[in-house]
């Protein structure tokens, strides 16, 4: 316990005996040993665990390790977490691709709308030119008649 910081010592000192047993069991210590040990021994065991948590503490029940899981179970859990992470990354990539596709579609629609508006403007300009030419032709015809 002396190797712990004063804060850690206070935390361990405040823990109930049952909580110490539970934490040690979750850390992979033998539950029977924890169940029969007195409070001082439990505090020292937990202090040792906090100072240098063992990578693998073999429990009495069937080779269970840290957190009550075997090494194979830990590997499977890590693989599962990696797969979930990759799936999330894929979802994010897909969402980004969808956003880009939607943006391209909007841009395309805007370009098409501009093309339509230009065509309309060109038709109106052409019609106006034709009307002006017609008016000029009529004016010339009137002027010729008046001569």
Contacts of 9 (CB under 8 A, 6+ apart): 1, 47
Q: Which domain holds residue 141?
A: 6-146
Apex CA 4: angle with CA 3 and CA 9, to 5°? 130
In a domain, 64, yes or no: yes
- Which region, left, alpha or beta, applies to residue 62 given φ > 0 means left and ψ of -120 to 50 means alpha? left
In a domain, 46, yes or no: yes
Q: How far, rounded to the nearest angstrom, does the alpha carbon of residue 95 sit from its chain's CA centroid?
A: 11
Please tell me the total count of domains within the chain: 1
pLDDT, tens digit, 9 for 90 and up, residues 10-27: 888 999 999 989 988 888
In a domain, 80, yes or no: yes
- Average pLDDT of the residues of the chain: 86
Cα(81)–Cα(128) distance, integer angstroms:
70
Asked if pLDDT for residue 68 goes beyond 70, the answer is no
In a domain, 1, yes or no: no
In a domain, 21, yes or no: yes
For residues 25, 31, 33, 36, the Cα torsion angle rounded to the nearest 10 degrees is 110
Percent of the chain with pLDDT over 70: 89
In a domain, 103, yes or no: yes
In a domain, 129, yes or no: yes
In a domain, 65, yes or no: yes
């Amino acid at each position: 316990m002396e190797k712990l910081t004063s804060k850690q010592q206070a935390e361990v000192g405040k823990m109930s005996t049952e909580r110490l047993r539970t934490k040690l069991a979750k850390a992979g210590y033998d539950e029977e040993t924890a169940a029969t040990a007195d409070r001082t021994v439990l505090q020292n065991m937990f202090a040792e665990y906090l100072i240098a948590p063992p990578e693998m503490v073999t429990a009495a029940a069937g080779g269970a390790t840290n957190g009550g899981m075997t090494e194979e179970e830990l590997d499977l859990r890590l693989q599962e977490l990696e797969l979930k992470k990759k799936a999330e990354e894929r979802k994010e990539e897909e969402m980004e691709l969808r956003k880009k596709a939607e943006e391209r579609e909007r841009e395309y629609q805007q370009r098409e709308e501009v093309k339509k508006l230009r065509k309309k403007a060109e038709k109106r300009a052409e019609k106006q030119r034709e009307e002006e030419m017609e008016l000029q032709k009529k004016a010339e015809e009137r002027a010729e008649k008046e001569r």
